[in-house]
Chain A
Amino acid sequence: MSSIIPRVVRSGTLPPDADAVLFDGRTAHAKSVQLWVNQNAGVLEIRGEGIDQNWPIADIRLIPDQAGQKGLVLGCEAAPLARLLSANRNLMNQFPALHKRRANISRWRLLRWAAGAVASVALIILVLVPLMANQLAGMIPAKGEHALGQATLEQIRTALDETGIAPLPFCENEEGLAALAKMEARLSPQKDPLTVRVLDHDMVNAFALPGGHIVFFRGLIEAADTPEEVAAVFAHEMGHVVSRDPTRHALRSAGSIGVLGLLFGDFAGGALVLFLTEQLIEARHSQQAETDADAFAYDVLSQAGVPPSALGDMFDTFRTQFGDADGVQAHFLSHPKLSARIADARAATPDGFEAQPILTDVEWHALQNICD
């Protein structure tokens, strides 16, 4: 077939450098052509029946990620719809800019929309969702709030599980639970019933969840020097329950998790949701919320005959054990003004305070072994 192509254009009688097929991008017609690389003029000459094109060599691109590894599929910046197919792969060496890419999208447009997307996400996560969560937290009925806490607790137990078989177990030693119940009765004689649990985990932490859930980790109970220190943490978490901080927090994460999942896609999304669930425990409430919870704890503790300074002792104990840096483990330790909080707790204890032990030695021993 190549023999019928009139070789009229090129003045010399050099044989063609390659045979090829041209799709000109106007019709689906496949046209047989011959190619001459003219480095002097800087063009690729394409000649065939009724075809007389020159492609600037600097504009010739290789179409990337081809499955076939033997032929060449070439394009040209100047004629973006045309394609040249040749079996002669050696031709590649003749074109210097085969892999150069052109951005078809304006960088500014991209930046504008990136800024728009970030602004939209920031507005939702930082402003609208917290605002709505604060409003809605006050309107949710008690039963619903309790169910929300229950669902969040299950999520956390699943996230903390390292075996991949069952959620993290609760500690349910009978004497230990009895001691915990006694502590609860002393601290909140006639208030709404709480649901208090101990999770079998090393973490030195405790947290509150919506609907009166208070959860201790075994690590915290084991690290405490006295039952009064545990009671102080208990009272602090009660302060969060009463002010509905956890409810706000849970509603906020319900709004934010979906948006963040949207941003990262299903690939990293799974890991991200797991990570965020772990963040739930850390529950960084606002500084004001922490101060209010501390103040609430002083009242509860004084009424129960426990010196409020126990909260300060607890901070002190943990600080000497783990140092200031180990903040990841406990949200009340990560507070920047830890020393101030210790001082506050000691100051809240009046002179000549008559302390009554909150647990007997036997009960305290049972509580420390609640996970056995």
Chain B
Amino acid sequence: MTDDSPWTKGMGDDGDEGPKDLGATFVENTLYGPDLNVLDGEFIGDRGRVFGLALKTGLLTVLTLGFYRFWMKTRLRRWYWSGVRVGGAPAEYTGDPLEKLLGFLIAVAFLAFYIGIVNLLLMFVSFSLFEGNFAAYALSFAGVVPLWFYARYRARRYVLARTRWRGIRFGLEPGAWGYAWRALVHWAVTILTGGLLWPRMTFWLEKYRTDRTWYGDVRLEQEGKWTMLYTATKHVFLAAVVAGIAALLLWADNIWGISVALVAVIWGGFGLAYYKVKTWELLTNAKRAGGIVFHARPKPLRVFWIYVLGYGLSSFVVTIFLVPIGFMLLALMGGVEALASGGAANLTSLSSWALTAVSIGSYFAIFLAWGAVAHAFVTMPLWRHYSETLTVIDPQALHLVQQRGRDSFEEAEGFAEALDVGAAI
């Protein structure tokens, strides 16, 4: 660390700005070899701020009947992006809420047609032929799945096009339909093989996305083989074995059956987290951008713990919210009964309106509390952990990266937004 780096000077002791080596050309080091610039990742920003931001923007979203959500998403992304610093330089999200609104309007103009007419027809066919709405839901779902992958790729393209680091834009080449049909085939193969070829899907879809990703004028490449991801599946398979033992024990009416089944469930949860973290590590370490390579070393146990603790805490907070609301509902309902027996019908309708108001209010309160707590205790800790355990190794090539042109991409995330393609933020 060079103390005369201008970004470091004048900083407080706690150093939450934390940029190191930003102005330095390179650092001698023993771990990665000489003549390499080692850019360590870190995450700036604390829980309190993201909690406040999520709560404030969430409230505005509710008050504007959902229309502030474009601003909410933009502001949260700006916050998270600016919190990630690699080699001291923060990333930046340059998306525009109005651009998102426009993209959404474009998507609505087209999708309203599809959704209105198709839903109606499906409902009609389903009830006419099958006397139930299950067929309608199944068909509607089947029709939406390819669109869902399509929209996901498009959303990724938009987000990358609006992400900058060191002033240079990222980008993703067009290719959403290619992605959609590949994803469908991979999913079909994965399901038909009972999940045995899951790593193959993970690898090839990631390779499709990575090989089309650019940083400035440098294209990223996904190297490695899909079989290398099998080490990431070990805990899922072990959990499956334990589940098998549990099934045998339960079948034999053994008293240990339940406990072993519980172990299998927890182990399975950890196995999934392990798969996610480990594949991310393996894939990231096999990526390159020209000569620039990456060294990721996230800890699966830590990530699993963040999930357990974070969602546990979110549930706890929501429960706390529920208790007073429950009492209020009970009190109101008692009031309704009393009034009804007293025959004051006008008042009955009045308190039934109050009841509705309280129900809607509590629905939104829970929604807001859950969202804000999950940001502070799940999303942010995850981002922090992934950032802190990432290192970019630059063989003096980074400073040569040139800017790329702007991807205007009118529809922004419109389709993803309209189809509810759930991105974390």
Q: Is B96 an interface residue (CB 8 A)?
A: yes
Task: Choose among B7, B75, B109, B119 the residue that contacts A85 (Cβ–Cβ < 8 A).
Answer: B7
Q: Which residue of B lies closest to A23 (CB)?
A: B167
- The answer to whether B120 touches A251 (Cβ under 8 A) is yes
Smallest distance from the beta carbon of A289 to chain B beta carbons, Å?
20
- The answer to whether B349 touches A328 (Cβ under 8 A) is yes
Q: Is A357 an interface residue (CB 8 A)?
A: no
Q: Is A117 an interface residue (CB 8 A)?
A: yes
Hey, what's the 0/1 contact readout for A124-166 against B, CB within 8 Å counting as 1? 1100110011001001110111111001000000000010000
Q: Is A172 an interface residue (CB 8 A)?
A: no
**A62-70, A295-303, A335-343: which one contacts chain B?**
A62-70
| Contact flag A70-B90 (CB < 8 Å), given A81-B403, A267-B62 | no
**B10-18, B196-204, B254-262, B304-312: which one contacts chain A?**
B10-18
Q: Is A50 an interface residue (CB 8 A)?
A: no
Q: Give chain B residues whose Cβ lies under 8 Å from the Cβ of A266.
A: 420
A203 to B341, CA, bound (A): 14
Q: Give chain B residues whose Cβ lies under 8 Å from the Cβ of A136.
A: 120, 124
Q: Is B205 an interface residue (CB 8 A)?
A: no
Interface residues of A in 63-84 (CB under 8 A from B): 63-71, 73, 81-83
**B129-137, B183-191, B227-235, B274-282: which one contacts chain A?**
B129-137
Q: Is B53 an interface residue (CB 8 A)?
A: yes
- The answer to whether B44 touches A256 (Cβ under 8 A) is no
- The answer to whether B102 touches A255 (Cβ under 8 A) is no
Q: Is B389 an interface residue (CB 8 A)?
A: no
Q: Give chain B residues whose Cβ lies under 8 Å from the Cβ of A86.
A: 6-7
Interface residues of B in 80-112 (CB under 8 A from A): 80, 82-83, 85, 89-90, 92, 96, 98-99, 101-102, 105-106, 108-112
A180 to B371, CA, bound (A): 50
| Contact flag A1-B2 (CB < 8 Å), given A27-B400, A65-B79, A67-B44 | yes
- The answer to whether A25 touches B17 (Cβ under 8 A) is no
Q: Give chain B residues whose Cβ lies under 8 Å from the Cβ of A139.
A: 124, 128
Interface residues of A in 279-327 (CB under 8 A from B): 321-323, 326
A345 to B399, CA, bound (A): 88
Hey, what's the 0/1 contact readout for B333-353 against A, CB within 8 Å counting as 1? 100100010000110110010
A28, A63, A133, A143, most chain B CB atoms within 10 A: A28
- The answer to whether A83 touches B92 (Cβ under 8 A) is yes
Q: Is A9 an interface residue (CB 8 A)?
A: no
- The answer to whether A329 touches B349 (Cβ under 8 A) is yes
**A92-100, A102-110, A231-239: which one contacts chain B?**
A102-110
Smallest distance from the beta carbon of B52 to chain A beta carbons, Å?
12
Smallest distance from the beta carbon of A121 to chain B beta carbons, Å?
5
- The answer to whether B23 touches A121 (Cβ under 8 A) is no
Q: Which residue of B lies closest to A85 (CB)?
A: B7
Smallest distance from the beta carbon of B179 to chain A beta carbons, Å?
23
Q: Give chain A residues whose Cβ lies under 8 Å from the Cβ of B51.
A: none
Task: Choose among B6, B78, B109, B348 the residue that contacts A21 (Cβ–Cβ < 8 A).
Answer: B6
- The answer to whether B119 touches A27 (Cβ under 8 A) is no
B75, B82, B216, most chain A CB atoms within 10 A: B82
- The answer to whether A30 touches B92 (Cβ under 8 A) is no
A136 to B127, CA, bound (A): 11
Q: Is A265 an interface residue (CB 8 A)?
A: yes
- The answer to whether B22 touches A26 (Cβ under 8 A) is no
Q: Give chain A residues whose Cβ lies under 8 Å from the Cβ of B4.
A: 1-2
Hey, what's the 0/1 contact readout for A17-39 against B, CB within 8 Å counting as 1? 01111011111111011100000
Smallest distance from the beta carbon of B357 to chain A beta carbons, Å?
11
Q: Is B29 an interface residue (CB 8 A)?
A: no
- The answer to whether B108 touches A65 (Cβ under 8 A) is no
- The answer to whether B346 touches A322 (Cβ under 8 A) is yes
A53 to B241, CA, bound (A): 66
Q: Is B315 an interface residue (CB 8 A)?
A: no
- The answer to whether A255 touches B119 (Cβ under 8 A) is yes
Hey, what's the 0/1 contact readout for B126-151 against A, CB within 8 Å counting as 1? 01110111000000000000000000
Task: Choose among B8, B79, B82, B123 the residue that contacts A73 (Cβ–Cβ < 8 A).
Answer: B82
Q: Give chain A residues whose Cβ lies under 8 Å from the Cβ of B418.
A: 262
- The answer to whether A66 touches B82 (Cβ under 8 A) is yes
A114 to B67, CA, bound (A): 13
- The answer to whether A140 touches B124 (Cβ under 8 A) is yes
| Contact flag A67-B45 (CB < 8 Å), given A83-B167, A258-B119 | yes
- The answer to whether B112 touches A68 (Cβ under 8 A) is no
Smallest distance from the beta carbon of B371 to chain A beta carbons, Å?
9
Q: Which residue of A lies closest to B104 (CB)?
A: A117
Interface residues of B in 129-182 (CB under 8 A from A): 129, 131-133, 165-168
Q: Which residue of B lies closest to A210 (CB)?
A: B127
Task: Choose among B69, B96, B120, B133 the residue that contacts A133 (Cβ–Cβ < 8 A).
Answer: B120
A117 to B113, CA, bound (A): 10
Q: Is A116 an interface residue (CB 8 A)?
A: yes
Smallest distance from the beta carbon of A263 to chain B beta carbons, Å?
6
A73 to B61, CA, bound (A): 27
A9 to B102, CA, bound (A): 46
| Contact flag A268-B8 (CB < 8 Å), given A28-B167, A116-B109 | no
Q: Which residue of A lies closest to B44 (CB)?
A: A68
Task: Choose among B80, B101, B168 the residue that contacts A28 (Cβ–Cβ < 8 A).
Answer: B168
- The answer to whether B349 touches A326 (Cβ under 8 A) is yes
Task: Choose among A88, A129, A271 the residue that contacts B363 (Cβ–Cβ < 8 A).
Answer: A271
Q: Which residue of A lies closest to B359 (CB)?
A: A162
Q: Give chain A residues whose Cβ lies under 8 Å from the Cβ of B9.
A: 19, 87
- Sample 23 A-B pairs with CB under 8 A, ordered by A number: A19-B6, A23-B89, A27-B168, A28-B398, A30-B89, A65-B79, A73-B92, A81-B403, A83-B167, A105-B99, A110-B102, A116-B109, A120-B108, A128-B117, A129-B117, A139-B124, A141-B128, A146-B131, A204-B345, A252-B120, A257-B119, A263-B108, A268-B65
Apart from A28-B167, A128-B116, A139-B128, 7 more pairs, CB < 8 Å: A81-B167, A87-B6, A110-B101, A132-B121, A202-B352, A259-B115, A271-B364
Counting from the closest, the 10 A-B pairs by CB-CB distance are A19-B6, A67-B45, A23-B167, A67-B83, A255-B120, A65-B78, A29-B399, A124-B116, A147-B131, A144-B127
